[in-house]
């Protein structure tokens, strides 16, 4: 995966509202479409975003829906609900043509009773369908770590899928809050499978989405480990609010 300019996480309604500003500032958006927005998004608006990115030579990535969804739900109706929402995300992606699509894997140590194999069977049942769609679209699904205490579940998924169109989105904020494993262990295990990195900080107590350097995560070590393994993911900042945007952009420039 070639290196590129940093992406900025922007909810779909805000991107539509601020599209001229985004273009003027030359921001590369990671557009987030939740389930409700996918129901309302029009082909006209999606194409307007795509055309603006192409015309102004900006890159676009996408974050799919995740709230209340479990792609590896133990209840089949729950899993199929996630499949339905992700299918709508791919319909939007067929117009937006994002470089990557970030999805959540739904691993829960409590819900799946620590059984990675049980989770993996359900996750593969879901993701195998969308790997084929990603290949046809020329995009890459990046599965994000959320409450993962170790890289084991994501590693199992990468090995089972064995596809260049399914990769990991490693989220530094989630690592800092939820992981019980060293950053070195995460990168050693998942390094070659990392397709995207969400870069934000916190003090370890909650997922605060602070700019780099305003929390306790060691970005120098993290980025150094990626460089050591010659991993070049898509980098995305996730400022929660416009007031955090400038701080996040300034902070990331110190490292990239």
First to last CA, the chain: 16
* Residues comprising the chain, all counted: 256
Cα–Cα distance between 77 and 203 in angstroms, integer? Answer: 37
Residues of the chain with pLDDT under 50: 1-4
3-class DSSP assignment, residue 72: coil
**Which DSSP symbol is given to 28?**
E
**What does the pLDDT read at residue 3?**
38
Chain segment 169-227, per-residue pLDDT in tens: 999 999 999 999 999 999 999 999 999 999 999 999 999 999 999 999 999 999 999 99
**What does the pLDDT read at residue 243?**
78
Instruction: Enumerate the domain spans of the chain.
Output: 7-253
Cα–Cα distance between 123 and 126 in angstroms, integer? Answer: 5
**What does the pLDDT read at residue 2?**
40
160-171 burial, b at 16+ Cβ within 10 Å, e below that, comes to: bbebebbbbbbb
Cα–Cα distance between 121 and 194 in angstroms, integer? Answer: 21
**What does the pLDDT read at residue 241?**
73
Contacts of 19 (CB under 8 A, 6+ apart): 48, 49, 52
175-198 burial, b at 16+ Cβ within 10 Å, e below that, comes to: bbbbbeeebeebbebbbebbbbbb
**What does the pLDDT read at residue 174?**
97
**What does the pLDDT read at residue 251?**
87
**What does the pLDDT read at residue 150?**
96
DSSP, residue by residue, 124-149: HHHHHHHHHHHHHHT-EEEEEPSS-S
CATH node for 7-253: 3.20.20.150
Nearest Cα to 214, choosing from 171, 169, 173, 170? 173
How far, rounded to the nearest angstrom, does the alpha carbon of residue 2 sit from its chain's CA centroid? 17
Task: In the chain, count H helices and then E strands.
Answer: 11, 8
**What does the pLDDT read at residue 73?**
93
pTM, full prediction: 0.95
């Amino acid at each position: 995966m070639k290196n590129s300019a940093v992406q900025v996480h922007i909810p779909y309604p805000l991107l539509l509202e601020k599209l001229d500003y985004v273009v003027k500032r030359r921001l590369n958006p990671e557009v987030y479409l939740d389930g409700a927005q996918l129901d309302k998004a029009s082909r006209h608006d999606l194409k307007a975003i795509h055309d603006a990115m192409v015309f102004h030579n900006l890159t676009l990535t996408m974050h799919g829906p995740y709230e209340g969804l479990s792609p590896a739900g133990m209840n089949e109706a729950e899993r199929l609900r996630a499949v339905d929402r992700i299918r709508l995300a791919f319909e939007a992606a067929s117009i937006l043509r994002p470089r990557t699509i970030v999805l959540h894997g739904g691993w829960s140590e409590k819900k799946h009773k620590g059984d990675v194999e049980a989770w993996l069977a359900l996750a593969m049942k879901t993701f195998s369908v969308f790997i084929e769609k990603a290949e046809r679209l020329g995009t890459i699904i990046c599965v994000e770590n959320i409450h993962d205490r170790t890289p084991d579940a994501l590693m199992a998924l990468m090995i089972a899928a064995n596809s260049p169109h399914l990769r990991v989105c490693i989220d530094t904020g989630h690592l800092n809050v939820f992981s019980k494993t060293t950053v070195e262990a995460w990168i050693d295990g998942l390094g070659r499978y990392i397709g995207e990195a969400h870069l934000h900080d916190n003090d370890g107590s909650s997922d605060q989405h602070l700019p780099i350097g305003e929390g306790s995560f060691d970005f120098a070590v993290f980025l150094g480990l990626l460089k050591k393994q010659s991993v070049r993911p898509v980098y995305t900042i996730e400022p929660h609010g416009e007031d955090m945007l400038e701080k996040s952009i300034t902070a990331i420039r110190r490292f990239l």
